[in-house]
Amino acid sequence: MGAVIPNDLKETDFNRYLKSAGLNMVFQGKTRDMYDFDSNLLIVASDRLSIFEFVLNTAVPRKGEVLTALVHFWLTNVLSNFQHHLVESTTKPGCNAVHDLISSYPDLPIERSLVIKKVNILPFELIFRHHIGGSVYKKYLETGMAGGQELTPNLPKWSKLDTPIFTPSTKEETGHDINIDADFFLDKYGEHGKRLVDMYTEGYKQAYAYAEERGILILDTKFEGDFFLFADEVITPDSSRFCDVDNWRAAMEDNIEPAFLDKQVVREWGLTVGTPFEKEGRKIIGLKNLDPENKKHIKWVHKLPVPDEIIEETMNRYLTIFERLTGEKLDHYQKHEMKIQ
């Protein structure tokens, strides 16, 4: 789904530089900018922050670096047995092809950049859940189903499932994405679709087991890609819901929501924000209750200041998640694994 980016964040020093250097931006998303580069793409992760389909007028320091390094980590380490979209360097074996660009583009922000293959991204959000919660939980309580699949009845929210389930949704150009049954996707794409779901399920299982050993649960995650490889964002705080194992266990015992280790702190702040708008004679509270397609709502959100403590906490969470998953500080990983000097 598209989102309007605040004017102050649409142009940054690095995308102004890349444009002036002759690279053509082909897409600008909530977080990432993509540029044509020969037969491949250069993808640059920004520090932009979005919640409830709104891009906020703020930046989280080093967020783009964490997202880039995590994608690199999963695809070159834990999930290295799967095909993926990263392109290998011709000048530095074992490194990403972004290293091949430095001589021509010396000011390229290499710590937030990757060269990737051009792939046909399917027009669905490919969501996998090892715990029942999130947007499908209400319908599960009503029907006992999630993504068209029957589950054990009366499971408490965020209960762990015996095996991950696939609960896709549409990608809507306007409004919110719509949850659909897994069979709709599988009927549409046949054997190719089944192979993709099997591949992503197995990859999620491997990543889940790896993270669990390090005290983190990946409650759910969203993949994007084509039928043959992992692409786009892979198991980051923007695309996944993380939780500390001990916190999850305590929350399940007390029948309360666990504390999520991602940008949930921003969502919780956004849910409490009072707005100048009304619905049915009452003031609208929370950005979630605004319309991301309403120009007045968008304009107001883009002027909304985000408290410094929320930004700092978000930055710390992203860095902490990275360190717990990889076992390394971000600077160390960039230098020794990504070969960024």
Distance in angstroms (rounded) separating the CA atoms of residues 325 and 207: 10
Domain boundary among the residues 206, 234, 254 is at 254
According to the model, what pLDDT value does residue 2 have?
Answer: 60
Q: Same structural domain for residues 213 and 245?
A: yes
Q: Same structural domain for residues 111 and 142?
A: no
Q: Same structural domain for residues 27 and 132?
A: no
CATH number at 220 reads 3.30.470.20
**H helices of 136-262, where?**
137-143, 182-213, 245-254
Q: Note whether residue 175 is domain-resident.
A: yes
CATH number at 51 reads 3.30.200.20
Would you report the helix, strand and coil content of the chain in percent, each value rounded to 5? Answer: 40, 25, 35
12: left (phi over 0), alpha (psi -120 to 50) or beta: beta
Q: Note whether residue 317 is domain-resident.
A: no
Q: Note whether residue 340 is domain-resident.
A: no
Q: Same structural domain for residues 70 and 133?
A: no
Residue 82 C-beta-side C-alpha neighbours within 13 Å: 27
Distance in angstroms (rounded) separating the CA atoms of residues 312 and 262: 13
Q: Note whether residue 231 is domain-resident.
A: yes
Return the axis-axis angle of helices 308-326 and 63-73, rounded to nearest 10°.
Answer: 20
Domain boundary among the residues 88, 118, 148 is at 118
According to the model, what pLDDT value does residue 11 have?
Answer: 87
Q: Same structural domain for residues 150 and 210?
A: yes
Q: Note whether residue 293 is domain-resident.
A: no
Q: Same structural domain for residues 236 and 166?
A: yes
Distance in angstroms (rounded) separating the CA atoms of residues 246 and 226: 36
Domain boundary among the residues 221, 254, 287 is at 254
Q: Note whether residue 328 is domain-resident.
A: no
Long-range interactions of 332-336: CB distance < 8 A, separation 24+ = 333/69, 333/73, 334/65, 334/69, 334/111
Query: What phi, psi does 120 have (nearest 5°)?
Result: -90, 95
Report field, pTM of the whole predicted structure over 0.75? yes
Instruction: Tell me the three state secondary structure of residue 318.
Output: helix
Position 3, amino acid: A
* Regions of the chain where pLDDT drops below 50: 1
How many residues in total does the chain contain? 341
Q: Same structural domain for residues 106 and 131?
A: no
Euclidean distance between the first and the last CA atom of the chain, given in angstroms as a whole number: 36
According to the model, what pLDDT value does residue 173 have?
Answer: 56
For 12, the domain range is 7-118
Position 296, amino acid: K
Contacts of 63 (CB under 8 A, 6+ apart): 31, 45, 46, 47, 48, 49, 314, 315, 318
According to the model, what pLDDT value does residue 262 have?
Answer: 85
Provide the number of structural domains found in the chain.
2
Q: Note whether residue 283 is domain-resident.
A: no
Q: Same structural domain for residues 33 and 108?
A: yes
Q: Same structural domain for residues 104 and 134?
A: no
Rg (CA), the chain: 20
Q: Note whether residue 284 is domain-resident.
A: no
Q: Same structural domain for residues 143 and 79?
A: no
